[in-house]
Copies of this chain bind each other. A is one copy, B any other.
Amino acid sequence: MADPSTAPPLTRASVEAAHRLIKPFIHETPVLTNSTLNKLASTPRTPEELAGTEWEGREPAKPVIRFWFKCENFQRGGAFKARGAFHAIERLKREPGWEEGGGREKGVVTHSSGNHAGALSLAALASSLPAHIVMPANASPIKVAAVRDTYRANVTFSGPTAAEREAAAARVVAETGARLVPPYDHPDILLGQGTAALELQEQFARLNREAAAAAAATGGKPPRLDAVITPLSGGGLLSGTALACSPRDGEEDRPGPPIYVFGAEPTLDGADDGRRGLAQGERIAAIGPTRTIADGLRTPVGKVPWTIIHDRKLVRAVYGVSETQIKRALRLVWERMKVVVEPSAVVGLAAALFNEEFRALIEKEGGEDGWDLGVIFSGGNVSLDGLEALFREDSS
């Protein structure tokens, strides 16, 4: 992976440059809408539903929400991670001296609970580079199989914590000379991940072209994307999205509100380190093992993403959701949208459906017009064996 010190600046323009670089390799994934989910999200929750939660006794929020689902579950490799991985590889191939130093033969290495592993293997295979992947021994079997069998990578297993995985990856680097491509804590990765939100903005404009023309003709309010919410784990997707939604150079003083960016996390076993870190004003560098079914969201926010999410204040808030809320959102997406997403993918939707703090904000700022809310479905890699447990609400 390209040396971070030579990385492009962390700006919207760099996300646009990343997009130009990776476009030949990735899918422009579809943006879907769903009237049933819009209706559900725009219906106030009942006082009974709020009983036993931190919002018990509060007047339920009455937001109006129109969802725009960016379906990265349809991305190559089944997750947005292909964007960062292809960007890292393309940047690496352009690094002065890399090829002459035997970079092609040494290849790349990473550690990942799954989707980044698949994505890097896919991107390495596309450039005929060897890929070494360190995976936690408890990783989803379907993800291990994809990495080893479909993308022909060399798989090594490690313990489940971030520290154990990093140590195992360091050993592979020492043995093979392969270049480390971390899953999220690197400028090239997060710039690549931000391209999904860039496409979402273009697609929103395309899908609303007629409404925009009608508004221009009548002097009405033109359609605009009010906000985007993404899952938060290591922070590559959320921080890249924040850059993609930030103003272009020279447009910082443009009138009107910006596109707000939000994150969502599972609260089980302290996996909501991002939310807690923002509250205390300091990044939480390590979290214990968590049992959340959102198996892509088990790592703490990385250093580089944190500078965007926290220091530069480009993310407005991060919301926590419970396991039951994740399962309900998952079931809605499968049953109503007919789309296969993994549990990690729906935490943003779960926040919009169930988190009263977020819903009250949308009610307050969106008013009667409501908000057009982009939701990034991060991936769809889920094993069909053991599915029943996934939808059984009485298990955590």
Contacts and interface: CB of A to CB of B under 8 A. Distances in A.
A338 B339 contact: yes
A385 B335 CA distance: 11
Contacts of A337: 74, 340
A335 B387 contact: no
A78 interface: yes
A392 B135 CA distance: 27
Contact of A339 (B339, B384, B391): B339
Copies in the complex: 2
Q: How large is the interface on A (under 10, 10 to 19, 20 to 34, 35 or more residues)?
A: 20 to 34
The SS class assigned to the A binding surface is: helix
B384 A385 contact: no
A338 B335 contact: no
Given A338-B339, A340-B339, A385 B391 contact: yes
A30 interface: yes
Interface in A354-396: 380, 384-388, 391
A328 B39 CA distance: 35
Nearest to A330: B384
Contacts of A30: 30
A207 to B, nearest CB: 13
Interface in A13-63: 30
A246 interface: no
A109 interface: no
A142 interface: yes
Interface string A322-339: 000000000100110111
A142 B74 contact: no
A178 to B, nearest CB: 27
Given A385-B391, A388-B388, A380 B73 contact: no
Contacts of A391: 384-385, 387
Interface string A303-344: 000000000000000000000000000010011011111000
Interface centre among A73, A338, A340, A341 (most CB of B within 10 A): A338
Given A334-B384, A338-B340, 15 more contacts: A30-B30, A73-B338, A74-B337, A142-B335, A331-B384, A335-B340, A337-B340, A338-B339, A338-B341, A338-B380, A384-B387, A385-B388, A385-B391, A386-B388, A387-B391
25 contacts: A30-B30, A73-B338, A74-B337, A74-B338, A78-B338, A142-B335, A331-B384, A334-B340, A334-B384, A335-B340, A337-B340, A338-B340, A338-B341, A338-B380, A339-B339, A340-B340, A384-B387, A384-B391, A385-B388, A385-B391, A386-B388, A387-B387, A387-B388, A387-B391, A388-B388
